Structure 1
Amino acid sequence: MAISMTPSAVSRVKAFLENRGKGIGLRLGLRTSGCSGMAYVIEFVDELNDDDQVHNVDGVNIIIDAKSEIYLQGIELDFVKEGLNEGFKFNNPNAKGECGCGESFTV
């Protein structure tokens, strides 16, 4: 399964990278956290690590480390605005459940 992004996410990431003035892409990863076990990590990438996998989605490089890759296969990254709030939303087909606050998930 491939990594995908909605048009709004692609547009937002391109704007972030352009405003930042540097960077080769966006890292999606995981860390142990929260009441459900895993939380998403999203950050800019200036240099690749040896175990990074690069996925080009509509002109945006999505970089995922080898350990996170199995849990993120098939994920869709979206950027949503809900009232005054806006942010990235992760639609992960591998997630079996989420905590009530939405900060972490389990597989």
Structure 2
Amino acid sequence: MNKNINQKKWKGISLTQTAYKKIKNLIKKHQNIKGIQINIKKSGCAGFRYYLSLIYLETQINKKNFYIYQNQDAKIYIKNENMKLIDGTKIDFVESDGINMSFKFNNPQAKESCGCGESFNIIPK
């Protein structure tokens, strides 16, 4: 079961088993990696784009400014201001042709995306 370490109330995010295994393998290969930060920035033709970065030291971040979501021993760091854009998202890791691989975000709030699928937009209710 996923757990929000900061104990804030939100729907949260979830990882598929494949995404969890990929994060776990990254941590196992590079023991100095503490988790992954999901950033959302204005970019692309649809409006926003996901960017991932590795957290090597938890002192890199101010925990007050982040939701820290934990799935077993894989930590996901998300800036507080990005939660409204990512809340409820399911993250998967997909491989195709043995060459192309990436994390995919199934965000129920994303109502528009560009043709290549690299950026998304949220339409306010």
| TM-score, normalised relative to structure 2 | 0.80
1:54 counterpart = 2:68 = yes
Q: Percent identity?
A: 32
1:102 counterpart = 2:117 = yes
1:103 is displaced (CA, Å) by 1.2
Check whether the contact 1:53–1:64 (CA below 8 A) recurs between aligned residues: yes
Letter in 2 for 1:2: G
Could you tell me which of 100, 107, 110 is aligned with 1:85? 100
| TM-score, normalised relative to structure 1 | 0.93
Check whether the contact 1:98–1:106 (CA below 8 A) recurs between aligned residues: yes
Could you tell me which of 32, 36, 44 is aligned with 1:34? 44
| Structure label with greater radius of gyration | 2
Aligned to 2:90: 76
Could you tell me which of 5, 9, 13 is aligned with 1:3? 13
The count of aligned residue pairs is: 107
Check whether the contact 1:3–1:57 (CA below 8 A) recurs between aligned residues: no
Runs of 4+ in 1 over 4 A off after TM superposition: none
1:92 is displaced (CA, Å) by 0.5
1:66 is displaced (CA, Å) by 0.9
Alignment RMSD (CA, Å)? 1.2
Residue deviations 1:55-86, cap 9 Å, x none? 11122111000111111111111001122321
